[in-house]
Chain A
Amino acid sequence: MGLVSPDYGTIFWMVLAFSVVFFILRKFAWGPVLNMLKEREQSIEKALQSASEAREGLSRLQAEHERMMQEAHGERELLIAEARQIREQLISKAREEAALENARLLEHARRQIESEKLAAMSEIRQQVATLSVDIAEKILKKELADRSKQETLIKEQLSDLKLN
């Protein structure tokens, strides 16, 4: 058993024991462990990737949300402005229409009054005419009751004719 001369007994046991342990460890330890390590690394990588993707998606969603909010805000402003405008328009239009209608009604009333007045006037005139004829008749009847008076009237009339 020299210091630098390899001992064949040691070599024999070393080859035997080392090989046995090597094959056992290769099958039952290193294989599973290395596989698991790889798997774990992959799953961690995948998890990290999906986390970053999720983060990205989230930020995208947030941006979208922000944009939509902005848009909605703008739209609301627009709608309010439009509504205000419409209201004003409506009011002014209503006012105008009311004025127009008012004028029309006034005109109508005036015309009605005019025509009523005319009708009334003509009726009055007729009545006045009938009344005056009646009165004239009555007066004439009274006047021409005696013969002399009739004769004078005829004479008068005749003289008038002569004049003409």
Chain B
Amino acid sequence: MKRWMYLTGFLILMVTSGLPLLAAVEEGQSQHSEAPKAFDAGKFIMEHVMDSHEWHIMKIGETHIRIPLPVIVYTKEKGLSVFLSSKFHQGNNIFNGYMLAEEGPHEGKILLANENGTIKEEAPLPLDFSITKTVAAMLVSLLLMLLVFLPMAKKYTKNPNRAPSGFQALIEPIIIFVRDDIAIPSIGLHRYEKFMPFLLTGFFFILTNNLMGLIPVPPGGANVTGNIAITALLAVFTFAITTFSTNKNYWKHIFDAPGVPWWLKFPIPLMPFIELLGVFTKPLVLCIRLFANILAGHFIALSFIVMIFIFGQIHWIAGYGSSVVAILFYVFMTMLELLVAFIQAYVFTLLSAIYFGMAKVEEHHS
């Protein structure tokens, strides 16, 4: 009986995870039948992982189904303009003197347009503070966090010293894990408390966005933690907190590391240079690790889907036939990414905590 339940669940998972793909298959086929233009797998994948001004869900026939997102641009001559990105799709990609570049070096960006619908080449790019797909997905995740954690915190203040219940029971072990297995061992018992809010927020931010990225339908499916701006900023936060909580000894260890022969420091400051470089490479590595891991996960998962279109181009039977294998692989990848979502959140938090712990070097260390 139980086995049947598992099997049904597995089938539902396959069907739902494949649901947007069915539409995508349509997309591929329509492309195939309509034009000799070959299906561009690279472009397809890049479109999915890249940021954009609209949230594309699917395309049925020739109609695109997309969630319009607010565009916020500023230019000196036109001032601040705020409008929905759907305005671009009502005409010829131009609205209010702005146009959404469909190709070229500024593809996907908003440019100033001439009266006749060409790009104003000489004009500088408008300042773009739009709520893009990445930003929107991030906001959804943050909102989700607020919706989960604020009521949960209320439960703690209302019924202190009670066994956790409901969602609280799911989150509490993670909070305790972050505290007991990440913060306390790497920072130390007497200093960890100051860093807990950042570690928890960071952990849950990465975890939520990683998990949301695995859901194939909006508001999931966006590539937030695989966006270099997001991961870079997280790393900058870690770097800033580390730097602001350093003590004298930390800098002494960098510029005048004890126990290192003097000739490694004096005429050519080799060790100080390497140590100083290490200060910056640590957050850089944090940034790139998270970015690359999540991006790669999206790439691989999408590559399996793209296989369907490639086979579909050869023959529609091949397309449907390969879809079974591709979706199996996709499900497998999603399972793997589920693991990666937790691992990357853990690794980022753990390394941040270790860097915070290293910021205060004890005197008697050497």
Residues of A within 8 A of B (CB): 1, 3-15, 17-18, 21-22, 24-26, 28-34, 36-37, 39-40, 43
Nearest first, the 8 A-B pairs at minimum CB distance are A6-B229, A26-B197, A36-B156, A10-B229, A29-B153, A29-B149, A13-B135, A30-B197
A4's contact among B46, B109, B153, B228, by CB below 8 Å, is which? B228
Q: Give the dominant DSSP class at B's interface.
A: helix
Decide if B160 touches A36 in the complex (CB within 8 Å).
yes
Indicate if the CB atoms of B201 and A25 lie closer than 8 Å.
Answer: yes
Instruction: State how many angstroms separate the Cβ of B112 from the closest Cβ of chain A.
Output: 16
A33 contacts B153, C-beta separation under 8 Å: yes
Q: Are A11 and B233 in contact, with the CB atoms below 8 A? A: yes
User: What is the interface residue range for chain B against chain A?
Assistant: 35 or more
Find A9's partner among B132, B152, B153, B237 (CB 8 Å cutoff): B132
Give the distance to chain A from B138, nearest Cβ to Cβ, in Å: 6
Contacts of B109 in A (CB 8 A): 1
Closest B residue to A23 by beta carbon equals B197
Is B318 positioned at the interface, with any CB of A under 8 Å from its CB? no
Residues of A close to B198: CB separation below 8 A: 22
Given A14-B138, A25-B150, 18 further pairs, Cβ under 8 A: A1-B50, A1-B132, A3-B50, A6-B229, A9-B129, A10-B51, A11-B232, A13-B139, A14-B135, A21-B145, A24-B150, A25-B146, A25-B197, A30-B201, A33-B175, A34-B175, A37-B172, A40-B161
**B349: interface (CB < 8 Å):** no
Q: For chains A and B in complex, what number of residue pairs have CB atoms within 8 angstroms?
A: 119
Please indicate the chain B residues that have their CB under 8 angstroms from the CB of A40 in the complex: 160-161
A11 neighbours in B (Cβ, 8 Å): 229, 232-233
Residues on B lying within 8 angstroms of A by beta carbon are: 46, 49-52, 107-109, 128-132, 134-135, 138-139, 142, 145-146, 149-150, 152-153, 156-157, 160-161, 172, 175-176, 179, 193, 196-198, 200-201, 205, 227-230, 232-233, 237, 295
Q: Which residues of B contact A36 (CB under 8 A)?
A: 156-157, 160-161
List 13 contacting pairs A-B, 8 Å CB cutoff, sorted by A.
Answer: A1-B52, A5-B228, A13-B139, A18-B201, A18-B233, A24-B150, A25-B149, A25-B201, A28-B153, A33-B153, A36-B157, A37-B172, A40-B161
Report yes or no: A29 in contact with B228, Cβ–Cβ below 8 A. Answer: no
B161-A39 in contact (CB<8A): yes
Cross-chain contact B229 with A7 (CB below 8 angstroms): yes
Q: How far is the CA of A21 from the CA of B49 in the complex (A)?
A: 25
Chain A residue with Cβ nearest B231: A6
Q: Are A39 and B160 in contact (CB under 8 A)?
A: yes
Q: Contact partner of B161 among A10, A25, A32, A43, CB < 8 A? A: A43
| Residues A9 and B128 in contact in the complex (CB < 8 Å), given A32-B153, A33-B153 | yes
B353 CB to closest chain A CB (Å) equals 15
